[in-house]
Amino acid sequence: MLPKKSIDKIVESTSDHSVDGLFFSKKILAWYRSQERPLPWRVLWAKHRDPWHIWVSEIMLQQTLIKSVIPVYERFLTQFPSWAALAQAPQEDVRLAVRGLGYYRRFDLLHKACRQLHFENKTLPTSHEAWLEMPGIGPYTAAAIASITLNLPHGVVDGNVERVFCRLLDIRTEPNLPALKKQFKKEMDDICHMGSPGDVNQAVMELGQTICTPSNPLCEKCPLQQICCAYSASSQALAPAAKTKQAPIDVKLRLEIIHADNRAELYLRPDDATFLKGTWGFPTYRLHGTSWRSDGKSTHGPSPANRKSIGSIKHSITKHRITADVLVSAARKSSKASPIRQMAFKDVEKNLVSNLDRKAWNLFLKANQSKN
């Protein structure tokens, strides 16, 4: 990372320059409208003009790849075709509907927002400011929804937008500096004011996803090549500089699969658990010094020392790099204070929200198959 003085100088010099907004708007809209991918939320918006379809997509796309979102998005809308339907659903049904996507708090907040609208007899927001007041809606999501569904001139700035502008202006530092983000936001707002803000926002993001990629950008296909300073200087590999990555935190866990007579037990994780709080899964233990303890206040007791290990799995949750040993044991008498569900093996997988539990379960099934 560059010294602060060098970064300040770069940001200061960059603030004196801007892209040609009219050229930018004309070129990128023409490109987008000829190349636009038929993503499910775009198809539904074009057909129904229902903001619910855009709202759901923007929540799901937070920190999540498009290819991972598409099957869950379609399944989710089949189950919850409107925000009113989601408002009346139990929280557990909502979590199961998005199982595997991670970052589950965003869906808890989506559920909360829908319940707020439904039970307070409100309608969907009709302004950017009103969207910002909704649970789980930050500046980026509010700008995206308002520009697409309300045609309001609010630009979005995500990693794709940052990379596009860094290359256009040949900025060779980290793209997510607060001062740069502020400048890029102004640039995007100005361009959105020229018309079709929803398409402009989606076009710039699509350009970053498909053409102006982090490595090996397809500059020969870029509609903005003519005004790209990095292309002119052959510095695409330098602009922007790589973001400083936060060092991962290694965590050791144990997951215990308790079973008998082709039935397994799922426990409700406590609200103070470090990982996956409030989800149904397998008893989870975390290494504290030299001893294993339940992750959060739980009554399923200390990690059994004499249970059989069937192997280990790896998983990541945000910055945590998890290695989890999977233990198996016979069903035992449990405290009534621990919510427990017993279910047939065939029903376990579809009731697991997290991929961490799903990986443990798949390991268990393979071990059972090899044993038989």
Q: What is the spatial distance between Cα 55 and Cα 34, in angstroms, rounded to a whole number?
A: 25
58 is catalytic: yes
DSSP state of 338: S
Q: What is the spatial distance between Cα 250 and Cα 309, in angstroms, rounded to a whole number?
A: 20
Nearest CA to 69 out of 34, 42, 92 is that of 42
Whether residue 298 contacts residue 286, with contact meaning beta carbons closer than 8 Å, is answered with no
Look up residue 31 and give its two tokens: 């490109």
State how far Cα 45 lies from the chain centre.
Answer: 21
Report the relative pairing of strands 280-281 and 263-268 from DSSP bridges.
antiparallel
Q: Which residues on adjacent β-strands are paired with residue 249? A: 320
Report the relative pairing of strands 320-330 and 308-317 from DSSP bridges.
antiparallel
Q: What is the spatial distance between Cα 307 and Cα 324, in angstroms, rounded to a whole number?
A: 14
The string of DSSP letters for 116-170 reads HHHHTT-----SHHHHHTSTT--HHHHHHHHHHHH--------HHHHHHHHHHTT
Whether residue 300 contacts residue 294, with contact meaning beta carbons closer than 8 Å, is answered with yes
Q: Which residues on adjacent β-strands are paired with residue 263? A: 260, 344
User: Which amino acid appears at position 275 of this protein?
Assistant: F
**Catalytic entry in 36, 58, 120, 256:** 58
Nearest 5°: the CA angle 144, 147, 152 is 140
Strand ranges (E), 195-344: 249-260, 263-268, 280-281, 284-288, 291-294, 308-317, 320-330, 340-344
Whether residue 310 contacts residue 256, with contact meaning beta carbons closer than 8 Å, is answered with no
Q: What is the spatial distance between Cα 96 and Cα 115, in angstroms, rounded to a whole number?
A: 18
* Phi (first) and psi of residue 302, to 5 degrees: -70, 160
DSSP run (H or E) holding 186: helix 178-192
Cα-Cα-Cα-Cα torsion 326, 327, 331, 336, nearest 10 degrees, comes to -70
Residue positions annotated with a catalytic role: 58
